[in-house]
């Protein structure tokens, strides 16, 4: 049975350095997939290992279902093997001297499942991960993607309460990686498994997650459905890390509810969504995704004229560098034909819904 995971104010400090996990709280309801996303060293694996019981938290509490498995304040620490969780890691943790079937049946043998029950569960699980035809192959004859499917089958076959996955696709080549990524969501949803998945790859996070938690320096900055993280990033770091690479500096000239006007050096005025704490008169940074810079259209709330200063044809899309009131921005246009010439002037519009003003935090854009 899938169970909910509840992490409350988790802290983990190692002997040296800053805390690896610094006050992280979140809940994964039963059957939901949560992906922790963030740059290298932000504390994703440490959080996951605390949930697994492989790392002892410094403070906070972790519950799986209605059982507290870790609460150092109360002296509670349940051993990993008693947490009823499945785990899949980056390295293919399969037994090389065994066949696919022997690998997958192993956890059932340990749990003393009857032969008939085990046969049925193994057959179902191999079907689920697409390996039915490979049951009697030695795992060393499999591709990396297939080995990861074996590892996945082995952690699903006994239906743990919770599945933990740490960058399970990162050793695969690009094509296999995309295939397994798409399959993985279907497999997890089909089993109704509660899953906590860790990655630094935003595309992976978006495809797999019901909700994404963005981490930085041991802290959880935002936890929300993928479309919310993409369209209303909580702060400049989340915006930048998830691809809103264009930054326009200015000063807030007025606010009207959620939106406001930002005046840029030189006097241009950009309508933007303003983060909640931003006040009139403050210096801000407006983040915009290259995909949301529309060249050739002059409709919308922010219509300007820009000069095309660079063009990189990329096959299915073209990236342009444009000069907009003295600020260099990147624009991405989908399509197999490049429509604009370098040197030309073109109308450009930025929907105010896609311009987000945050307090100007220089450190947010350095990673
Ligand atoms: N056993 C350990 N001893 C000391 N420091 C550690 C240990 N494990 C992790 N850390 C430190 O804790 C911080 C968080 O590490 P963690 O492995 O959780 O990051 P991560 O987000 O998983 O990064 P990556 O994307 O590179 O896997 C890092 O600064 C790391 O150096
Ligand atoms: Mg890691």
State which ligand 1 atom lies nearest to the alpha carbon of 21: 14
Between the alpha carbon of residue 262 and those of residues 54, 169, 255, 290, the distances in Å are: 49, 42, 9, 19
* 323, two tokens: 């000069």
Rounded Cα–Cα distance for residues 246 and 290 (Å): 7
For residue 206, what pLDDT is reported? 95
For residue 13, what pLDDT is reported? 97
Residues of the chain with pLDDT under 50: none
**Whose alpha carbon is nearest atom 31 of ligand 1?**
41
Rounded Cα–Cα distance for residues 156 and 272 (Å): 46
Q: What is the CA(204)–ligand 2 centre distance, in A? A: 15
Phi-psi region at 104: left, alpha or beta (left = phi > 0; alpha = psi -120 to 50): alpha
**Whose alpha carbon is nearest atom 29 of ligand 1?**
41
For residue 33, what pLDDT is reported? 98
Sign of the CA dihedral 266, 269, 270, 272?
positive
Residue 54: DSSP 8-state:
S
Under 8 Å between Cβ of 287 and 235: no
For residue 309, what pLDDT is reported? 98
Taking Cα atoms as reference points, which of 28, 51, 34, 2 lies closest to residue 161?
2
Q: Is the distance from the beta carbon of residue 45 to the nearest atom of ligand 1 less than 6 Å?
A: yes
If one residue of 21, 22, 38, 43 were mutated to test the ligand 1 pocket, choosing by the most ligand atoms within 8 A of its CB, it would be 43
**Whose alpha carbon is nearest atom 12 of ligand 1?**
20
Q: Is the distance from the beta carbon of residue 43 to the nearest atom of ligand 1 less than 6 Å?
A: yes
Render the burial of 165-175: b for 16+ CB within 10 Å, e for the rest: bbbbbebbeee
**Whose alpha carbon is nearest atom 8 of ligand 1?**
46
Rounded Cα–Cα distance for residues 48 and 58 (Å): 14
One-character DSSP codes across 158-218? T--SEEEEESTTTTS-HHHHHHHHHHHHHHHHHHT--EEEEES-HHHHHHH-SEEEEEETT
- Kindly report the length of the chain: 367
Q: Is the distance from the beta carbon of residue 121 to the nearest atom of ligand 1 less than 6 Å?
A: no
Rounded Cα–Cα distance for residues 341 and 308 (Å): 7
**Whose alpha carbon is nearest atom 7 of ligand 1?**
14
Q: What is the CA(240)–ligand 2 centre distance, in A? A: 20
| Pairing mode, strands 302-313 and 345-350 | antiparallel
Beta bridge partners of 295: 348
Ligand with smallest separation from the Cα of 13: 1
3-state helix, strand, coil in the chain (%, to 5): 30, 35, 35
Query: Hey, is 149 helix, strand or coil?
Result: helix
* 186, two tokens: 């279907």
Rounded Cα–Cα distance for residues 125 and 254 (Å): 58
* 93, two tokens: 């943790």
* 338, two tokens: 């490049």
Q: What is the CA(297)–ligand 1 centre distance, in A? A: 46
Taking Cα atoms as reference points, which of 294, 288, 326 lies closest to residue 307?
326
- Helix (H), strand (E) at residue 264: strand 259-264
Q: Which domains does the chain have, with CATH numbers?
A: 5-236 (3.40.50.300), 244-361 (2.40.50.140)
**Number of other CB atoms surrounding residue 62 within 10 Å:** 24
For residue 90, what pLDDT is reported? 81
Ligand with smallest separation from the Cα of 46: 1
One-character DSSP codes across 61-124? EEEETTEEEEEGGGTEE--GGGS-EEEE-SS----TTSBHHHHHHHHHHHTT--HHHHHHHHHH
For residue 175, what pLDDT is reported? 83
Taking Cα atoms as reference points, which of 346, 353, 364, 367 lies closest to residue 249?
364
* 266, two tokens: 């030189």
**Whose alpha carbon is nearest atom 26 of ligand 1?**
40
Taking Cα atoms as reference points, which of 122, 92, 123 lies closest to residue 107?
122
Taking Cα atoms as reference points, which of 134, 309, 98 lies closest to residue 107?
98
């Amino acid at each position: 049975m899938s169970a909910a995971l509840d992490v409350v104010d988790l802290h983990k400090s190692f002997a040296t350095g800053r805390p690896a996990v610094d006050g992280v709280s979140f809940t994964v309801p039963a059957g939901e997939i949560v992906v922790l996303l963030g740059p290298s060293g932000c504390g994703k694996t440490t959080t996951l290992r605390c949930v697994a019981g492989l790392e002892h938290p410094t403070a906070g509490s972790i519950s799986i279902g209605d059982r507290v498995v870790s609460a150092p304040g109360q002296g509670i620490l349940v051993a990993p093997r008693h947490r009823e969780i499945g785990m899949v890691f980056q390295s293919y943790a399969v037994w090389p001297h065994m066949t696919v079937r022997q690998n997958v049946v192993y956890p059932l043998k340990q749990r003393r499942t009857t032969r008939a029950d085990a046969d049925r569960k193994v057959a179902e699980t191999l079907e689920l991960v697409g390996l039915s035809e490979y049951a009697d192959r030695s795992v060393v004859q499999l591709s990396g993607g297939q080995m990861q499917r074996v590892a996945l089958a082995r952690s699903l076959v006994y239906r743990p309460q919770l599945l933990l996955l740490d960058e399970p696709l990162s050793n695969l080549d690009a094509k296999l990686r995309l295939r397994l990524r798409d399959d993985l969501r279907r497999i997890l949803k089909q089993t109704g498994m509660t899953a906590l998945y860790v990655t630094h790859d935003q595309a992976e996070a978006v495809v797999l997650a019901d909700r994404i938690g963005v981490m930085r320096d041991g802290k959880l900055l935002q936890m929300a459905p993928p479309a919310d993280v993409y369209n209303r990033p909580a702060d400049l770091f989340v915006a930048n890390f998830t691809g809103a690479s264009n930054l326009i500096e200015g000063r807030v000239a007025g606010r009207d509810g959620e939106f406001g006007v930002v005046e840029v050096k030189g006097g241009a005025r950009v309508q933007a969504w303003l983060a909640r704490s931003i006040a009139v008169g403050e210096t801000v940074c407006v983040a915009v995704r290259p995909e949301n810079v529309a060249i050739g259209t002059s409709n919308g709330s922010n219509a300007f004229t820009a000069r095309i200063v660079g063009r990189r044809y990329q096959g299915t899309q073209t990236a342009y560098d444009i000069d907009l009131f003295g600020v260099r921005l990147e624009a991405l246009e989908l399509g197999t034909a490049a429509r604009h010439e370098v040197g030309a002037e073109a109308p450009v519009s930025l929907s105010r819904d896609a311009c987000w003003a945050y307090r100007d935090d220089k450190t947010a854009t350095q990673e």
